Structures are given as structure tokens and as C-alpha cells.
Structure 1
Amino acid sequence: MNDVILIIPAYNEAGNLPSVIKNIASQDFPMDYVIVSDGSTDGTLALCEAEHYNYIALPTNLGLAGCFQTGMQYAARKGYRYAVQFDGDGQHRAEDIRALYEKMQEGDYDIVLGSRFLEKKKGGSMREIGSRLITAAIQLTTGTRVTDPTCGLRMYNRRMISCFAYRMNYGPEPDTISYLIKNGAHITEAPIEINERLSGESYLRPLTAARYMARMLISILLVQGARRKESYE
């Protein structure tokens, strides 16, 4: 068993997972993975069985929060030091895991967030404008600047693994990152790159993306203060 495990939530990703697993297996950085099939109906489960992938099959679709929690519970039971949230659609690159790990070793960090914008500016697309607004909201409410709050490539230490596995029922979204910062979690960023989705269609279409950004902003600015406080010091 290695120190790092990649948690790969997968809903109908049969067309992408072979390339994702091949990318992981090609790395010289030691890491394990677990695919969490979130009630998939497209052959994802059959693929995992046929290819002998390491996987967990959920009987119904729980969404990202439940799927991620299942993966974190697995990581906690197995005793991994670090867990990485890793997309099953091919957008995340296994080549970037080393950078997250090395950044984690530089300090007493609970989470290392991957960022596309540490070394370049955001553009003017709807998603990037939404990302700017979320960055501003997090900085306003926590005093911490997160340059790429919607990027899902993140590494968590054991404290955070236990937290997501057993103490929180919230998904790994920007508003949860804001909440964790406000409650003492130590967070930093490392530069990464994002690929285009290999196949299939993203659920974040323009209208859905706009609603998502609005929901995140409302949650960060108005809802987080009402959530029960934790301490991660």
C-alpha cells in the first residue's frame, strides 16, 4: 500500500476510465486508486469488473458528496496518509499528483488545492468570471485568496480524510473549502493543468454552470456562518 490514494468518483464514465487508469499506471510516483461507481448505468461497473480495477459499487446515485464520502471512508479504513480527489473524465492529470504531494510536505497543510491560475490570469468565459467571483467571496469571508476554487484536483491529509469520512456530510465544493478555512484548516495551492474531457458530456452546461456559481456565492457569503463550527488546529 502506498501513502497516496486517488478517489475517483465515476458516474457513467465507461468511455473515459480506461484512459484515466492508464494515465495513473504510467506514473513513476507511487499511488493507489479506488473508483467509486455512483450508480452508473452505462457499463462502468462491468468495465471495472472486467478490467479488475479497484472499485466500490454504489447501488444508487448518491451525487458527489455521498460518492466522495464513500471514497474517504475507504481511505480512512485502509490508513492512507493522503487522499486525492480525482475526476473520472480524464480532465485531471496523474502527472500533477507529485506537485500536490511535494507542496503538502512543505508545511503543516490539511489540503493542497490544484490551481490553473497561479501562473496565469483567468480569461473572460462565464466559468472563469464565476471563478473570479467565488475567489473574491472566499477572500472576503476568510481573508484567504484561493485562485482556482472550482478546480476539483485536491489532496487531503489524514485529518481531512477523517473529517470527510465521518464528521461532515458536505461535498468537496468551494463553499466547503471556505467553511474549512474559516474553521482553521491550513490550505495552500500548487500549479496544475487541466485536460479537455475525453468523452461524454459535462453536466455543467452554461445555464447549469451559472446556477452552480450563484449557489456557491450565496452559500459562501450567507450560509457558512450558520454551519456548526469545527476545529482543525
Structure 2
Amino acid sequence: MKILVIVPAFNEEEGLVKVAEQFHGINDVDVLIINDCSKDATSEVGRKLGFNVIDLPCNLGIGGAVQTGYKYAYDNGYDIAIQVDGDGQHNPAYIKDLIKPIKEGRADLVIGSRYLKKEGFQSTFLRRVGINYFSNLIYLLQKKRITDPTSGFRACNRRVIELFSARYPNDYPEPESIVYLLRNNYKTEEVPVVMNERFGGESSINSFKSIYYMIKVTLAIVIDNMRKIGLT
């Protein structure tokens, strides 16, 4: 199976070094860096490390960067696409666990969750509040418990690649995309993973943006869910 690892990167020149170390010796996947118009040397560092790099002409945000990767995966015939953050938090040793339910036909989307076994870095307090909030919101609307709905460590099959290449949320896209898949009867699973602290760079979501995104994404999720019951 053709497997593509999509790494959205904004000002991640430090983190990409860690990513390269983590992927050293893993030869059965292709790694694609989506440089989201970084202001640092993300593009140059990515190429020097031997990665394929797409340089976006303007900053599209996490949603646009990731969707670029899905478009690439769809156009180039990949069977599985895996999202991995460019800051070194996600350990590729867990890729085999992520793709196993997909290979076995049990899931369309598999999420790496740090909260199934609660090992390793558990994120900041503010992020944990947001994660718990979206977990409860998704359960309320879809009756499916997702313990780590904001996890950027995810794998999906060809069906979802095609869908995401055409339709993907812009801001804080993980919870919204999960609800969309669930309401359209795609199979979603979680597997336990251990995540690291950010190796370098800065998160694109600060405290103010976190509150803004929570409100914005909540409205998007509720409106999208209303389509299921024919109210919009």
C-alpha cells in the first residue's frame, strides 16, 4: 500500500530536525512537508533533511496546509495518509498501530490518542480543557466518545483522502472533521499513543485564539450536525 505522511509546518525549522531523526530508518512511507509560508528556514531545512516539500505562496493555516497534503495524496494515488505535526510531538513508531485498523478494514479514520492510557505529555491545561470540551460535544451530538478529538496524529484510508481533498475545515479542523465523518457513517477509531512535548518553534494557537476557535468550531460543528436532521 502506498502511504503518505503529511507534515504541516509553519516556522518549524527546529522541529523538522527532530522529525527527521524520528523517521530515520522508516522506508515504507513517503514524507511530505507542507510549508505554510513560514518566515524561518522551514523550507530549506526540510529539503536539506531529504523531505519532499511543497511551499504554499501564502499562509493558509493548519486546515489549508493539511488539505494541500490530502490533495497531493489523492492526485498521486496514495492508499493511506497520515498526519504528523512538524514539531516532533508525534512518534512514527506508532504508525503501525494507526494504520492497522485501516488495513484490516475496521476503520476509515484512526486517531492517535494520548488519553486512552494517559502516558507521556498530556498537553497544557488550557488545551486539556478544550479537548475535554470537544470530546463531550462530539459525544452529545454523535453518541461516540473520542478521547482526543484535537489530536493531529491521524491516519485515514483512500475514501477519506478523497473526501478531505475536496472538503476540509480551515481552523482547528480536527474536531469538525470528526463530526462530519461520524454523521456520514464513516468508521472512526482511536489507538493509544505517547506524545512528546513540542521540540521547537511556537504553536500557531495562543490563549486568545484557543477561545476564539472553540466558539467558532462549536458553531461549525452544531450547524454541520443540524444538516443530519434536516434543519439546514
What residue in structure 2 maps to residue 56 of structure 1? 54
What residue in structure 2 maps to residue 136 of structure 1? 136
**Matched length:** 225
Summarize the alignment of residues 54-93 of structure 1 with structure 2, pairs less than 5 Å apart. Answer: 54-93=52-91
Between the aligned residues of both structures, percent identity stands at 36
* Aligned partners of 1:123 and 1:129 also within 8 Å: no
Distance 1:19 1:97 in 2: 16
Please, which runs of 5 or more residues in structure 1 have no aligned partner?
A: none
* Aligned partners of 2:169 and 2:176 also within 8 Å: no
Instruction: After the TM superposition, list the runs of 4 or more consecutive aligned residues in structure 1 that deviate by more than 4 angstroms.
Output: 121-124, 226-229
Residue 14 in structure 1 maps to residue 22 in structure 2: no
Distance 1:76 1:19 in 2: 27
Residues 203, 178 of structure 1: alpha-carbon distance in 2 compared, 3 angstrom cutoff: same
Summarize the alignment of residues 1-233 of structure 1 with structure 2, pairs less than 5 Å apart. Answer: 3-27=2-26, 30-120=28-118, 125-166=125-166, 168-171=167-170, 172-220=173-221, 222-225=222-225
Q: CA deviation at 1:9?
A: 0.6
Q: CA deviation at 1:120?
A: 3.4
Residues 52, 204 of structure 1: alpha-carbon distance in 2 compared, 3 angstrom cutoff: same
Root-mean-square deviation (Å): 2.3
* Aligned partners of 2:108 and 2:159 also within 8 Å: yes
Q: Given the two structures, how large is their TM-score scaled by the length of structure 2? A: 0.88
Distance 1:123 1:42 in 2: 25
**Which segment is superposed worse, 179-188 or 206-215?**
206-215
Q: CA deviation at 1:132?
A: 1.5
* Aligned partners of 2:20 and 2:49 also within 8 Å: no
Please, which runs of 5 or more residues in structure 2 have no aligned partner?
A: none
Distance 1:158 1:169 in 2: 15
CA offsets, 1:173-210, max 9 Å, x none? 20221121011111111111111001122233333323
Residues 210, 24 of structure 1: alpha-carbon distance in 2 compared, 3 angstrom cutoff: same
Q: CA deviation at 1:226?
A: 5.1
What residue identity is the alignment partner of 1:178? V
Q: Given the two structures, how large is their TM-score scaled by the length of structure 1? A: 0.87
Distance 2:51 2:104 in 1: 32
Distance 1:155 1:20 in 2: 17
